[in-house]
Structure 1
């Protein structure tokens, strides 16, 4: 059975990376959820994809880490989605973990590009440990140096290596990286049978992003992917 991730929660039904979006995904019976983390100005782990607020609230043009957590709690990111979500704000990772049942698989992406958050890896591991959440979780990032830092601090935790652009033999790159990678997370547009077969020969699971078309999803399953990241409830709740 594939392990499909609700990408940033159920973002077609509620503002992405917010508690309502995660509640929606859980209500749908999602077996796995993907979320993104950054650091506030005062070093709190905030769940957010974009490094700026502009897509959700044009009154605030700074970066996430230009604001303290107290200030972030005052920034409405829900109204841009719909009036029913007016006043919704970005949650902390602690708040998200509080609502996620232990059997729910989590993919936590460190958003370390273009902003490099010094110490985010340690804060993430400390938070997961405080919630007894070091199992049933994958830490992923496009910043593979961040993955190395996570591994150095906690060698046993599962790591997912993200790729956006096409690379020559990324499965070989991963094998030579010195990282204990569980899974490769490529952009689905260039995933084909060869990519999946070669990755699996190196012992890696494959989870392409972001797959919202059911025809493409079925095609990827035929290639042998282990699951996908999706915005489409029909896919992520399968």
Structure 2
């Protein structure tokens, strides 16, 4: 069972910040999940299009300059990070799942990964999105980076939804766990990850039906699971 620290394990600290991501790594996370928004030619690690929930700012993120955004407090004195800062912090210590949250994010990410400093990290990346178009654009530019498709709701035809995407994983909501869909995805060679799981009691059943990993808000989940199953820390 692979454990993704959702937004850096947001129950442990301010979400999508370098501090919380570093804490998740220290706690033994297999993977770090972050969100990126394209803004003024940069990729900011932030979930919402507005600022109030996670920072001391107000209004839409898009209404502010990069300089203004970087001066905001994202919790406990943390700043909104640039994606480059997260890539360099995590390095090869864990998989980095980058969720594309806005139009234009795919193109900026593809350009960034062409830079010499970040090319070695491509093998440890998983790029995901609910936006099929952004995923396809990224695939066309970076066919050597793993892709994950986020889904929410009932799926009538997996092949129709996947279309031309060459996926490595399917990311499903815990509100719509479909045993048949999971089996079909596994038959097609896809990893299946479930979001967002915060109870150890859910893990055994998920493992039994073939789920490969989960996104969680708290590091205690994977630590408790490994202790129960006498598994070493990652």
TM-score by length of 1: 0.87
Residue number in structure 2 paired with 1:194 = 180
Partners of 2:212 and 2:36 in 1: CA distance = 24
Q: In the TM superposition, what is the alpha-carbon distance from 1:174 to its structure 2 partner? A: 4.1
Partners of 1:220 and 1:19 in 2: CA distance = 30
Unaligned ranges ≥5, structure 1: 79-84
Greater shift in the superposed pair: 187-196 or 158-167 = 187-196
Tell me how many residue pairs correspond in the alignment.
Answer: 221
Partners of 1:236 and 1:47 in 2: CA distance = 24
Task: Find out whether 1:159 has 2:147 as its counterpart.
Answer: yes
Residue number in structure 2 paired with 1:44 = 42
Report runs of 4+ in structure 1 exceeding 4 Å deviation. Answer: none
Candidates 98, 101, 105, aligned match of 2:88: 98
Partners of 2:187 and 2:73 in 1: CA distance = 46
Partners of 2:22 and 2:129 in 1: CA distance = 24
Task: Find out whether 1:229 has 2:215 as its counterpart.
Answer: yes
Partners of 2:57 and 2:218 in 1: CA distance = 30
Matches within 5 A, 1:20-169: 20-40=19-39, 42-57=40-55, 59-61=57-59, 63-78=60-75, 85=76, 87-112=77-102, 117-118=103-104, 120-130=105-115, 131-132=118-119, 133-169=121-157
**Contact preservation (8 Å) 1:229, 1:236:** no
Q: In the TM superposition, what is the alpha-carbon distance from 1:158 to its structure 2 partner? A: 0.9
**Contact preservation (8 Å) 2:152, 2:176:** no
Greater shift in the superposed pair: 12-21 or 51-60 = 51-60
**Contact preservation (8 Å) 1:103, 1:136:** no
TM-score by length of 2: 0.88
Unaligned ranges ≥5, structure 2: 227-234
Q: Secondary structure at the match of 1:21?
A: helix
